[in-house]
Structure 1
Amino acid sequence: MTGLIKLELTRALRNRKFLFFSVLYPSIIFLLVAGQGGADATVGGTGLGLPTYMMVSMASFGALTAVLMGNSERIAKERESGWVRQLRLTALPGRGYVLAKTASAAVVSLPSIVVVFLVAASVKHVRLDAWQWAALTGAIWAGSLVFAALGVAIGYLASGDAVRPITMITYFGLSILGGLWMPTSTFPHWLQEIARWLPTHAYAALGRAIEQSRAPHLQDVAVLVAFFVLFAGGAAWLYRKDTLKA
């Protein structure tokens, strides 16, 4: 399995388009959005400055891009090309393949988080305590596993032609409705109620709790755990179903 993880990392790091959208793109959006407010601009109801608030949003968005976009399309194409079928002929167990995909995606997501933090600190002068930077990195990185599991599930659910539109709809829907591109406080009340139960909203809320030096809401933790179980269980079921077809 270690060899497969190394192979996945090498392939991801050679993909310049993937690296741009997962590492640089979130930082660019952060600068565009954070630059719209003044130096004292805050996001209502949080007490956080706009740059500090959007830093967590864009770090989460970058990690989401890395694990979701990278996993789903690559798995669907590997199924069509017969690569997954060849791996089944080796000693690699099914769970090893899924774990390798998830682990490699999680490693690639780390640079996207760090780059957003560096840009926020150097350009927008976001200042936090050392423990907050460390806790933010760990929380956002660990939380990305929820969406890595979703990427694996979509990769086994869709064919090579259908996987991109399905992934894009899921990707942008979760990002926008979950409040990663704009504060959910700007949404109508009914849409805010829906957003509260989305995994992306809970994902970013963990980081904002750390910025506010408080414990995360139990609801946010429960939402992330529930979606991880759902996505991981769905990925495992779809993998077994795909194995039976092969």
Structure 2
Amino acid sequence: MRSFLGFEVRRSLSSPVNLVFLAGFPVLLYLLWTKVLDLASGPVSMVSMATYGAMGGALFIGGAIAMERASGWLRQLAVTPLPAHGYIVAKLVAGMLAVLPSVVIVLAAGALLGGVRLPAGTWLVLPLLIWIGVAPFAALGVAFGYSFRGQSANIVTMVVFFLLAVLGGLWLPVSRMPEGLRVVAEHSPAYQAGSLGWRALDGLPPTGTSVLVLVAWTALFVVLGVWRYRRTAWR
């Protein structure tokens, strides 16, 4: 399992497509919101876009799983010593590690291009908080990977990704939403993931609500992923 994990990590980190999608697009949106349209403050938008990119990277674990299921790769792995759960663990670990470079790039863009200035301690803690906050989406990605086949998984993931990002206030502040929608948004996983970094900008720790909501969403998505995996088990 260790060899397969190393292979997956190297493959995820070496993909230029992943880096462009997970870092390049969020950086462009950050510059659009803050420099062109002036719709959000630099630090808040920087955290939002870093969370947005990391969330996408975690979710699209599912697309890789679905494509490999369709190609027959999992059937080939079934005849190796790799345990059945080892594939999912490797995908989760590799996917979560792959989002870290994009987080760092977006934060660097905020500092170098957006003129964001923060205490050294805040710069150090932001990548970790953003990374932890997107854990629920990695679990959801696994569930998608075992729920849909081939390109269908990527299409569904893209739609869900976009809707969650908008609902969670990563594109525009939740405060601009209608009151009823705002209540729903504030309990979404994307909003609570973003709130970890937003509060850190003010030197504040995560709230108990944020932790509980993120844990609850993660548990729900893990259960969903395990259920889908067992129904389509490759071994």
TM-score, reference length from structure 2: 0.93
**Residue of structure 1 equivalent to 2:21:** 21
- Separation (CA, whole Å) in 2 of partners of 1:21 and 1:131: 28
**Residue of structure 2 equivalent to 1:64:** 55
- Separation (CA, whole Å) in 2 of partners of 1:206 and 1:161: 32
Deviates further, 183-192 or 140-149: 140-149
One-letter amino acid of the structure 1 residue matched with residue 200 of structure 2: I
**Residue of structure 1 equivalent to 2:95:** 105
- CA-to-aligned-CA distance 1:18-54 (integer Å, 9 cap, x gap): 321112111111111111466xx8x6xxxxxx00110
- CA-to-aligned-CA distance 1:68-87 (integer Å, 9 cap, x gap): 12x11110011111111222
Moved over 6 A (4+): none
- Separation (CA, whole Å) in 1 of partners of 2:8 and 2:155: 23
**Residue of structure 2 equivalent to 1:189:** 179
**Residue of structure 1 equivalent to 2:6:** 6
Contact 2:30 2:45 in 1 (8 A): yes
Q: How does 1:197-216 map to 2 (within 5 A)?
A: 197-216=187-206
- Separation (CA, whole Å) in 2 of partners of 1:143 and 1:92: 29
Identity of aligned residues (%): 37
| Residues paired across the two proteins, number | 235
TM-score, reference length from structure 1: 0.90
**Residue of structure 2 equivalent to 1:47:** none
Q: CA deviation at 1:13?
A: 4.1
Extract unaligned runs of 5+ from structure 2.
none
Q: CA deviation at 1:215?
A: 2.2
Contact 1:179 1:201 in 2 (8 A): yes
One-letter amino acid of the structure 2 residue matched with residue 62 of structure 1: G
SS at match of 2:170: coil
SS at match of 1:197: coil
Say whether residues 1:219 and 2:209 are aligned partners.
yes
Contact 1:12 1:19 in 2 (8 A): no
**Residue of structure 2 equivalent to 1:35:** 35
Q: CA deviation at 1:59?
A: 0.5
